[in-house]
Amino acid sequence: MNLIFNIFFKWLADFVATYPKKYNEIAIWREPIMACAPADERFLRLKEITVSDHALPTDLLHDAKTVVVWFIPFKHHIQMDNTEGKYPSLSWGRAYLSTNGMIDRIGCAMKEFIEKKGGQAALTPATHNFDKKRMVSLWSHKHLGYLVGLGRYGTHCQLITPEGCSGRLGSLVTNLEMGDHPLVTAEELCLIKAGKKCGKCIKSCPVHALSEQGMDRSICYARLRENYHLLMEPDGLPETTSVCAKCQVGMPCSAGSPLPIN
C-alpha cells in the first residue's frame, strides 16, 4: 500500500479520534474510512452519471493527481435515535450539523498537512454546493466515493460503504500521487440491486419518495425543508440543517455492508 496513503489515513483517524476533546463535542463518530484514486479519465463519468456541468478534479486543481474521499460513520446510538416515528430526531439534526463542521475542519487541516508535505490541495464544503433548482450537487461526494471505490449506491441513493451508509462524506483533490486504493470492488452492496430480498428503505420513507427505480428528488427535498421548518428551525439550528435519513437508519446497510465488499 502507498506510504503516502497510509500517512494520510493515520492522520485522518487521529484527527477524528481527538476531535471531540479538542473541539468540546460529544463523541458520536466511529473510526473513519478512506479511499483514493488517480484523477484520471474515470472522473469524466461524473458528467454522465450526475449533470453535464459537474466539476472535474482538474476544475478544482489544475494539476490534480489524486482524488481522496473519506466517510465518517455515526455511532449506533445516533442511528437508533432516528429510527422511531416519521420525523427526524433533534439529535440527528445536531449530529448532521456538527459532522459537517468536522468534515470542513478535516478538509482545511488536511489541505494544510498536504502543503507541509510539499503538495497542493483543493476542496469544497461538506455541504452547501447543492443546486436547489435541479436538486443536484455540483461536487458530489457520493459519486466521487463511488468512483474511488469507497462504496456502492443503494436503492435509497445513499453510498453503502464497508462501514454502512449512516454517516457523512468529505473529499479533496491533491497533486500528490497516492495511488489507487479502493475499499470496495464488488459490483453491488445493496441487497435489492444484487437481486436479493429487502426493500426496507423503500418502506421506511415517510413520503414514498423511494422505489426500486430510484428516488423522486422533488418529494424528498420538500420533506427535508418541511422537517427543517417544523423541527430544526425552532431548535435554533441553521437553515442548512435539512435532514430526514429515515432510509439510512435501522437498515441492513446502516452500520456495515450486507454483502461482501470484494
Mean pLDDT of 94-110: 96
pLDDT band at 3 (very low <50, low <70, confident <90, very high): confident
pLDDT for position 138 = 81
| Global confidence as pTM | 0.94
Percentage, residues of the chain above pLDDT 70: 95
The pLDDT tens digits for 145-159 are 999 999 999 999 999
Q: What is the pLDDT of residue 136?
A: 65
C-alpha to C-alpha distance for 101 and 111, rounded to whole angstroms: 16
What Rg, from alpha-carbon coordinates, does the chain have?
Answer: 18
- Is the per-residue pLDDT at 126 higher than 60? no
Pairing mode, strands 152-153 and 159-160: antiparallel
pLDDT band of 113, cuts 50, 70, 90: very high
Question: Per this entry, what is the length of the chain?
Answer: 262
Using alpha carbons, select from 195, 224, 228, 227 the residue that is nearest to residue 212.
Answer: 195
Q: Are 50 and 148 in contact (CB under 8 A)?
A: no
**Which pLDDT score is estimated for 124?**
81
Q: How many CB atoms lie within 10 A of CB 208?
A: 10
pLDDT over 80 at 131, yes or no: no
Q: Are strands 33-38 and 136-137 parallel, antiparallel or unpaired?
A: unpaired
Cell of 143: 459519486
